[in-house]
Structure 1
């Protein structure tokens, strides 16, 4: 919310709106198109740590709450409510996949904010970078991705198989996902 006293965006107002909107699952941020109210001094670092005014947000419940009202438009990220939209900075991906349950044709990732997502046609695994520094990601929701952390990527590599085209990858949701850039 915009604080009328000093016309600055207030993170507490955003958090309160997220609490109200998310009582029954994830808020429908894809349906909201409120006016832009300015930038919030909030950043999500490449390691998944959320910062507000230069200080890490230590309460995981608050990070989870903010993550539910995160929206991506092009290369820009916003926290949105039905009545306002504020810009935040994201260094790489807004989430980090910190674990995975790897079954024969189902890989379900868990992110640093508690989301669970199964790799499939709607939530693909993609690899960026090059062979010396691959950057693996999984789509989480509505254009938001999670960087797959190193230990989880090594577990995927250990479960990898050769595909029909000779590429190395994993299978999930009836799809083959390459693990090479």
Structure 2
């Protein structure tokens, strides 16, 4: 699979002004593997070299699809498997948007590819044990956020620690949870037993 040819097929399918391409509706034939990897730190590599053009990474991120445990880049006519070391997205920024709901705020997150995710509903954030390469000694679960279509993001360590400063500590029995309120819903960022 040629990365340049794949890029040509995607021309005009996505831009900041238009919604994401309907990759869930595209079911092209499988065309094999492409030597493209999304590393633990959120960087994209092609044949071992980092992809330096942010616009190219954003384009490829817009046509990412997950089926079971595999990740694919898809166009209307081709489908290629890529390697994802943990999650395809990494949350690198956050802000608290005031107004609009019971508690008056909604957390808004931005990924390394520029995707913006509003934390609005239950099930959108869950605690998972990260890969061994980035685990702490106790393998403490950390928050992962659903970006779209069963594609998840891990919170960057700095982002996670900043959010913990915003969290309310709630103790129940032998368990202490750290929670934030967003769009009127309570979300657990971490817990200690």
Q: TM-score under structure 2 normalisation?
A: 0.82
Residue 16 (structure 1) aligns with: 8
| Large movers: runs of 4+ above 6 Å | none
Are the counterparts in 2 of residues 93 and 147 from structure 1 also a CA contact under 8 Å? yes
User: Cα distance, 1:119 vs. partner?
Assistant: 1.1
User: d(CA) in 2 for partners of 1:133 and 1:58?
Assistant: 33
- CA distance in 1: counterparts of 2:123 and 2:63, whole angstroms: 19
Which one of the candidate residues 38, 43, 47 is aligned to 1:49?
Answer: 43
Cα distance, 1:115 vs structure 2: 0.6
What is the match of residue 81 of structure 1?
75
Which range moved further: 101-110 or 111-120? 101-110
Instruction: Find the counterpart in structure 2 of residue 99 from structure 1.
Output: 93
Which residue of structure 1 lines up, in the alignment, with residue 114 of structure 2? 114
Cα deviation for residue 168 of structure 1 reads: 2.0
C-alpha distance 96-90 of structure 1, shift in aligned 2 (>3 A): same
CA contact under 8 A between 2:122 and 2:185: conserved in structure 1?
no
Deviation of 1:134 (Å): 3.5
- Helix, strand or coil for the counterpart of 1:77? strand
Q: Which residue of 2 aligns with 1:169?
A: 179
Question: Where in structure 1 are there 5+ consecutive unaligned residues?
Answer: 1-8
In structure 2, stretches of 5+ residues that fail to align are 98-103, 130-135
Alpha-carbon shift at residue 42 of structure 1 (Å): 0.4
1:55-97 CA distance string (max 9 Å, x none): 1111111111110110011110000001110000000010110
Aligned to 1:31: 25
| Aligned: 1:124 with 2:134 | no
Give the structure-1-normalised TM-score: 0.87
Contact 1:117 1:123 in 2 (8 A): no
- Is residue 166 of structure 2 the alignment partner of residue 156 of structure 1? no
Displacement of 1:17: 2.1
Q: Deviations over 1:90-140 (max 9, x none)?
A: 000101100100245311001100010011227722221286544321110
In 1: Cα distance, 2:123 partner to 2:49 partner? 32
